[in-house]
A and B are shown apart, each in its own frame.
Chain A
């Protein structure tokens, strides 16, 4: 009987850990694919380097990671990683990644996105993937501007930001991604900045280890179209990188919401983390309860039972 939700796929002995001669972890050279096409100085380089570091550190193998993205500068990500990946359409990385996650519990599913992709064209999917608590990690590289299309207002651009579509300065109130994520039911919400590599790695690692939908909001500067946007959060540029207070209770939704809503750039770290059953687990439970009624039957015999009732 096929059990795509509840069973791990059959993996040949040659690639399991206990095979003859343990497989070594991957080196950065083995993980890197195409040279990134980002502009020199782009914050996304840092996120990519730390994704490599995460794979190295956690001894993940090529075939066990799936890197998925939509459209935008950030979303070129999968091409730069030697792993099974998909570069999907604008705004829809999350439902695509959900299809992977729900049918393949054995894979680590990472989605990389930008502020336009995740919060504007893909806003509906951000809400619903979070509320369903589908197991995966979403890293949004937020530069507060549309970079690939060369400087238009994004849903996170601050009021007054001068872009080619708001030459007099942005007039629409920006989204606060962390607040929104908490409000729609994300079970893990963290904020970080590409300018602080160790912090990015720590957040990605915590996100990966979270059993549920984990969202990492990462400020990532666009040096071409919004230079200096995040200096205020960068001690090297005269700003301050304020971490989440030690006494913050990450399971307290109201406290997390309040903390997430602090004036820009606010606090960095895990803002909210609760454990609740994932959709993956709930669907597997439904399957287990149905399948227990058909133990020992082949698929065609189960269908035959249904057809016998349609005579």
Chain B
């Protein structure tokens, strides 16, 4: 809770202190079946509707049922870049939630605990403001004995709503939408639990809070997580076919597309395995329009042979990779940026492909469209690297102008006089396939092939042809690289230290820069969203700094550099490029970046 200003009581009848704050971080800790994601979701959605900025963070166990789970939500009226290092309020349902998460609470923060299950520790009483409420038994009292585990999340939502003076009619509406169409008694129970919590004035809480109005008044926002933004971005881009195999944390995207694509006349196929799914998507790309497949971790490894075919055959394809902790089965529900190498180089042979990495949830939506368009224009597979963190984190962003953004990419079957799918004279090496169903008047039909081939796609073992076609596949990506915009430096364009990041880490890196600059340190940041090919001219940005630190959630490697760090070292041969890495499976905390950067700059 920053910039707290006490303004006194708002209502004459309420003697308690009311503080105006411009942001708050709430962490809810319980077990995975307690519905804590639902509370977080309601809070995030409410923030979106109140034109506030919001970001969430959650962890889920990879076990089938049960296990500790948390949801953290940061709501603010100014810019929110991360889900927050430390919480202002910790709501905990069990002893293990209390003991396991007290360290994530700011000193003097409020710990709101279920006194039916939690016995507070005397030694923590001074450091944190303890508020015990028998949440479980009061929920039973409110809605009856049978549903006690179901309702306590909503009872708690009521408590939080009261504490932060949240908009009750808007929350009631959200509850109504959530429980719509179900048995009306379910909604009634939900509302009863919520109101019981709201009515319970937390006895020894002396303060309540009001989040100040946002400066974004009048901006209509949508609230969703990264996986949802990708799925809807693909639909907006005109993708109408996809195929995949379930794997965490990619699965949400395939579930959404399976459910949504039929509305648009498209279809999504659940395949027998990862290889079948990339193959089926390639078949659909060959037959009509660019298709999508996706996976996480091990599934991506299985797809690499077919992706090599897509490079060789020059077939457009979008591959979503929601990264998780690896190698092998690794840490399925944790966060890591360790698939950059496989995205850029996975598979055998010289197989250049495009790799994009969205920086936030809004970017997931727009960059999915960009991925589709690059795949189409350059006839190339495009990797789309997100991670478990961005997949499940909820953000609010301005509603896209869908009429403008949505594309119709229905294939064209107009007959052509002649067609060379691998024309070596094409400008920048860029060619496109015509689709089956298209008549070719000279009667010479093309073959899409994984063998090295002549300009019509027929096999060739000629050394010269292999060199020319290799060059074609390379040159077209060099042309793409030359067309990419140079990313803007966050902070001054010259200084001592430049932090370079990619993908989902943009928020914490920027917040780290803000902290450094507030303390008078010369630190700026550069964020790469186009990772392969890189935009041209990065060396000119690097030359403005005496140190370039590549901040990544992957291992420092055998030689001291993370995966992007190694690429930048190889490309720019610049010893001032160094790595800042971690592999704890959790999102960056701002203070972690600050500390690691300090340790590197101190040398």
Contact = CB atoms under 8 A, between A and B. Distances in A.
Interface of A: 1-7, 9-12, 14-15, 30, 33-34, 61-64, 66, 68, 78-79, 81-89, 92, 94-104, 106-107, 124-125, 127-128, 283, 286-287, 289-291, 293-294, 298-304, 306-307, 309-311
A187 to B, nearest CB: 18
A4 B288 contact: yes
A308 to B, nearest CB: 9
A223 B435 CA distance: 37
Contacts of B282: 88, 96, 99
A83 B403 CA distance: 38
B283 A15 contact: no
B411 A96 contact: no
Given A4-B265, A63-B438, A89-B309, A102 B408 contact: no
B378 to A, nearest CB: 19
B305 A89 contact: yes
A95 B265 contact: no
Contacts of A11: 413, 437
Contacts of B408: 2, 299
Given A62-B439, A300-B405, A311-B220, A95 B445 contact: no
B156 interface: no
Given A2-B408, A5-B265, A33-B444, 6 more contacts: A85-B445, A96-B282, A99-B243, A299-B406, A311-B49, A311-B399
23 contacts: A4-B240, A4-B288, A5-B265, A9-B410, A11-B413, A33-B444, A92-B279, A96-B280, A97-B283, A98-B269, A98-B276, A99-B282, A99-B291, A103-B267, A104-B288, A106-B437, A287-B262, A290-B262, A291-B265, A306-B232, A307-B399, A311-B49, A311-B399
Nearest to B412: A10
A246 B493 CA distance: 85
Interface of B: 45, 48-49, 177, 220-224, 228, 232, 235-236, 238, 240-241, 243, 260, 262-267, 269, 271-273, 275-277, 279-289, 291, 305-306, 309, 313, 399-400, 402-403, 405-406, 408, 410-411, 413-415, 435-440, 443-451, 458-459
B251 to A, nearest CB: 19
Nearest to A89: B309
Given A3-B265, A96-B282, A86 B459 contact: no
A61 B410 CA distance: 22
B437 A64 contact: yes
A87 B279 CA distance: 12
B241 A294 contact: no
Between B279, B436, B450, the greatest number of chain A beta carbons within 10 A of the residue's beta carbon is seen for B436
Contacts of B305: 89
B447 A95 contact: no
A62 to B, nearest CB: 6
Contacts of A100: 283-284, 286-287, 436
B235 A128 contact: no
Contacts of B262: 283, 286-287, 289-291
Contacts of B238: 2, 299
Nearest to A26: B443
A89 B279 contact: yes
Contacts of A87: 447-451
Contact of A104 (B232, B287, B405, B406): B287
Contacts of A94: 276
A85 B437 contact: no
Contact of B445 (A12, A82, A290): A82
A94 B447 CA distance: 17
A48 to B, nearest CB: 15
Between B309, B406, B437, B458, the greatest number of chain A beta carbons within 10 A of the residue's beta carbon is seen for B437
Contacts of A1: 264-265
A104 B437 contact: yes
Contacts of A128: 271-272, 276
B265 A107 contact: no
A306 B271 CA distance: 26
Nearest to B438: A63
A311 to B, nearest CB: 6
A92 B251 CA distance: 23
A68 B435 CA distance: 14
B436 A63 contact: yes
Given A78-B447, A100-B283, A88 B276 contact: no
B537 to A, nearest CB: 36
Contacts of B281: 99
Contacts of B265: 1-7, 287, 291
Contact of A99 (B222, B279, B403, B415): B279
B286 A86 contact: yes
Nearest to B268: A283
B267 A5 contact: yes
Contacts of A96: 279-280, 282-283, 286
A310 B243 contact: no
A3 B291 CA distance: 15
B309 A310 contact: no
Contacts of A99: 241, 243, 279-287, 291
B190 to A, nearest CB: 18
Nearest to A15: B439
A107 B287 contact: yes
A92 B272 CA distance: 12
A4 B241 contact: yes
Contacts of A301: 402
